[in-house]
Chain A
Amino acid sequence: SQTIHQWPATLVQPVGSPLSLECTVEGTSNPNLYWYRQAAGRGLQLLFYSVGIGQISSEVPQNLSASRPQDRQFILSSKKLLLSDSGFYLCAWVLGETQYFGPGTRLLVL
C-alpha cells in the first residue's frame, strides 16, 4: 500500500535560519506531489506542486523553494525564514482523482 512520510514532525527555528522539510512517498511511482501551508486557524494554501523529477511549479511567490531530487522525494526549503513562515506544512500526493496527505510538519519561527 501507499504511504506518505514527513519529517520532522515539529520544528522550532529562529528568524533568518535555513529550512529543509522532507516528504517521501512509498508504494507508488511518478506521483504528482504537492506542498501546502496552513496558518493557524486558516485554510490550505498551495505552495508548490510537481509532476516529476526536477519539475516544480510555484503557486505563490515567496522566500520558499521546492525541489524534487528523486521520484518519490519532495523537499521544501528556505534560505532565511521569516516570522510569517510559521504554520503547518502538509505534503500530499495523488492516486487517481484523490489527494492524500501526510501527517504534516508544524513549524514555529521565533
Chain B
Amino acid sequence: GNSVTQMEGPVTLSEEAFLTINCTYTATGYPSLFWYVQYPGEGLQLLLKATKADDKGSNKGFEATYRKETTSFHLEKGSVQVSDSAVYFCALSDQTWGQFYFGTGTSLTVIP
C-alpha cells in the first residue's frame, strides 16, 4: 500500500541555519509528492510539489527532489528564518483515484 514516513520532531534551529526534514514514501504506482506547511491556527498550504522522478520542487527558498531510487522527498532550505516556524507535512497522491497520504508532520521552531 501507500504510506509516507517523515522525521519526528520537534526541530529547533537558530536563524540562518540549514534545514533538512526527511521524508520517505512507499507507493505501488507513480505518485506525485508534496510538501505542505501549516502555520499556527491555519489550514495547510501547498509549499511545493514534484510529479515525477528527478523533478525538483521549489518555493520560498525551500527545495525537495523526487528520488525514486531512494523513495525519498527530503525538504531543504539553506537559511531558515523565524517566519519559517510551522509544521511541515510530506504527502503523496495516488493518482489512481485521488487518495492522498500524509506524514505525521514535523514541527519546526526557528529562534532568533
Interface residues of A, Cβ cutoff 8 Å to B = 6, 32, 34, 42-44, 46, 49, 51, 90, 92, 94, 97-104, 106
Q: Say whether A97 contacts B51, CB under 8 Å.
A: yes
How far apart are the CA atoms of A49 and B34 in the complex, in Å? 19
Q: Which residues of chain B are near A44, meaning CB under 8 Å? A: 44, 89, 102, 105
Q: Say whether A98 contacts B44, CB under 8 Å.
A: no
Query: Which of B19-27, B61-69, B76-84, B92-100 contacts its partner?
Result: B92-100
Which residue from A42, A46, A94, A101 sits with its C-beta under 8 Å from B104?
Answer: A42
Q: A43-B89, A43-B105, A44-B89 are in contact. Are A99 and B100 (CB under 8 A)?
A: yes
Q: Which residues of chain B are near A42, meaning CB under 8 Å? A: 104-105
| In the assembled complex, B46 has its CB within 8 A of some CB on chain A | yes
Q: Say whether A101 contacts B44, CB under 8 Å.
A: yes
Interface-centre pick from B43, B49, B51, B95 (highest chain A CB count, 10 A): B43
The 0/1 profile, CB within 8 Å of A marked 1, for residues 10-33 of chain B is 000000000000000000000010
Interface residues of B, Cβ cutoff 8 Å to A = 32, 34, 36, 41-46, 49, 51, 89, 91, 93, 95, 98-100, 102-105
Q: Say whether B32 contacts A97, CB under 8 Å.
A: yes
Q: Say whether A104 contacts B93, CB under 8 Å.
A: no
Q: A43-B89, A44-B89, A44-B102 are in contact. Are A97 and B42 (CB under 8 A)?
A: no
Q: Which residues of chain B are near A94, meaning CB under 8 Å? A: 98
Q: Say whether B98 contacts A32, CB under 8 Å.
A: yes
Q: Say whether B45 contacts A101, CB under 8 Å.
A: yes
How far apart are the CA atoms of A52 and B57 in the complex, in Å? 31
Q: Which residues of chain B are near A32, meaning CB under 8 Å? A: 98
Q: Which residues of chain A are near B49, meaning CB under 8 Å? A: 97-98
Smallest beta-carbon distance B72→chain A, Å:
19
